[in-house]
Amino acid sequence: MRCLFLWLCAILCCNTVFGESDRDSLKVRLNPPSRLNLPAPALLVDSIPGAIVERLDDLYSKWYVTRLHEGNYVDSVYLMEYNSGPSVPDSVYLNRLDALNSAIKLSYNDIVRNYIELYTVRRRAQVGAMLGLSSYYFPMFEEVLDREGLPHELKYLPVIESALNPRAFSRAGACGLWQFMYGTGKMYKLEINSFIDERRDPVKSTEAAVCFLKDLYKIYEDWILVIAAYNCGPGNVNKAIRRSGSKKNYWDIYFHLPRETRGYVPAFIAAMYTFNYHKEHNIYPLENELPTMCDTIMISDALHFEQIAKLMDVSVEQIRDLNPQYRSDIVPAGFGKSYCLRMPYNHVGDFIDKQDTIFAYNRNSYFNDSDRTADPKNRFKKYAHAHAAPSNKAKLIYTVKSGDVIGKIAEKFNVRLSDLKYWNGMTKDRINIGQKMTVYVSKDKVAHYQSKIDAKYAGVAANAEVEAESLSEGEFFYYTIRRGDNLWSIAKKYPGVSNRDIMKWNGLSDRTAKNLKPGQKLKIKI
């Protein structure tokens, strides 16, 4: 009987402490679990790691304070410690959390209360700034969450992760609103390079975060555990579950989680409470420079923010704030790839009307397009005359003899090896005895080379005394067929030229093309 009595007492105590008879969630009514019912000072230190408070203050000082004019927006009420009389009773907090009717189970205990008071009492300025930004970012988050069928309450995660700062960068290397690590960002197909970091893109990063959250939910099927895993990784959550004896309730594995994660879920619940009941605590949104309405423009060519700012009534700073993913004030579009540019809604029409002028404005100073593309065919047209028929030069024909190497031949005529190879359409250094090689020398040096080189091996072309004419597009360059040549090998020497082109230019048929002979000249259009 004594055992039965003790068993019944234990059941009654558990139902009283946890209030599970009428709640699915672990809502600790007025008292948390006995193991969490620590003295207030000790609980405060344990439940709110200093790193979290320090990070919140750091993000605020780097992002918001620099954008607020002194005394314009920040009322003194935000900057002083809040003393509004007696504290809010636990029953009020609990009823307000219940009234949210959240799809994510919300717990309440002393730890959650400490975080609520962190936001509503000690960090009121930060909350006011984040409330102001939420009107811009939350609709983006909600749209993606709704499209993927995830709870809208997950929009409060970036409040904890980055304080709604798209440029937030942690010591561990996490970046953006959702604080993606480099590897995780790449895994979820976010583009990260010297010009763009889509971890800072509000829409792209939200889409990646939603995919990550969906993957975590497939593992745990519990949104509170998903939120914990988002912070510390599924490995740490799985380890905590094993150490707790395979329990899958956040508060059951609480002390087995990393210290920061212990505060992460309570901070999430507190942020959700604060954003919904900020008026009850006399906290109101601070103004910011982000427009309430924006639209997206697709950019298909490289564009600098200053090109826009110089011709439109919008500042570079505002363009940066709307497009934080671009690291160097450049939209790196072009080569068949387009990127999005967010602009204030009232400026979109003006941009479309002026876009030709905007793209052309001081383009050479922002982008050096001269070497942006390298068209081999155009480069051949540009340099063919310089190498194939230099002006004020005489053309010599040198016959390769035994013992010759191409470097020595170039040295004999005092020309560059690269020029000699180019004049003769050579890609390798191999030469054959008896091979005819074209060399261009100064006209006043023809006699010198004739006396220096045995006439048996060198001579002056018939047009040696005639200054070469400049070649222009549409003119023909004449190629002398050598032993072993065929149309395919000849065409390879001239970028953009095919063997069919050579047949067309020279009136060759399939039959006559097979009977080409060394010494025969072919026209090559350049």
Show the 3-state SS of 20-67.
CCCCCCCCCCCCCCHHHCCCHHHHHHHHCCHHHHHHHHHHHHHHCHHH
Identical topology for domains 51-281 and 390-468? no
Catalogue the long-range contacts made by 50-56 (C-beta closer than 8 Å, 24 or more residues apart): 51/260, 52/260, 52/263, 52/267, 53/118, 53/123, 55/170, 56/123, 56/126, 56/163
Tally of CA atoms within 13 A in the half-sphere of 416 that contains its CB: 5
- Strand 458-460 with 436-442, pairing: unpaired
The domain spans of the chain are: 51-281, 294-371, 390-468, 471-526
Respond yes or no: is residue 143 known to be catalytic.
no
Q: Helices 90-99 and 259-276: crossing angle, nearest 10°?
A: 80
- Looking at the chain, the number of H-run helices and the number of E-run strands are 23, 9
Residue written as tokens 């072919």? 522
Residues 6+ apart with CB under 8 A from 376: 495, 496
- Integer-rounded Cα Rg, in Å, for the chain is 38
What is 51-281's CATH number, 2.40.160.10, 3.40.630.30, 1.10.530.10, 3.40.720.10? 1.10.530.10
Contact between residue 60 and residue 124 where contact means Cβ atoms under 8 Å apart: no
Task: Tell me if residue 225 falls in helix, strand or coil.
Answer: helix
What is 390-468's CATH number, 3.10.350.10, 3.60.21.10, 3.40.50.300, 3.30.1160.10? 3.10.350.10
**261-272: pLDDT as tens digits:** 899 999 999 999
Question: Which entry of 20, 117, 148, 161 is annotated as an active-site residue?
Answer: 161
What is 471-526's CATH number, 3.40.50.2000, 1.10.287.3510, 3.90.1150.10, 3.10.350.10? 3.10.350.10
The tokens of 276 are what?
Answer: 């919904």
Q: What is the pLDDT along the chain (526 residues), one digit of tens a residue?
A: 444 444 444 444 444 333 333 333 333 333 333 334 433 333 343 456 555 666 666 655 555 544 444 334 344 344 444 444 457 899 999 999 999 999 999 999 999 999 999 999 988 988 999 999 999 999 999 999 999 999 999 999 999 999 999 999 888 889 999 999 999 999 999 999 999 999 999 999 999 999 999 999 999 999 999 999 999 999 999 999 999 999 999 999 999 999 888 999 999 999 999 999 999 999 999 888 888 789 999 999 999 999 999 999 899 999 999 999 999 899 999 888 899 999 999 999 999 988 889 998 888 888 875 555 555 545 444 444 444 455 567 778 888 888 888 888 888 888 888 778 877 877 778 888 888 888 888 777 777 776 655 443 444 333 333 233 333 344 566 788 887 788 877 877 776 677 777 888 888 877 777 788 888 888 887 5
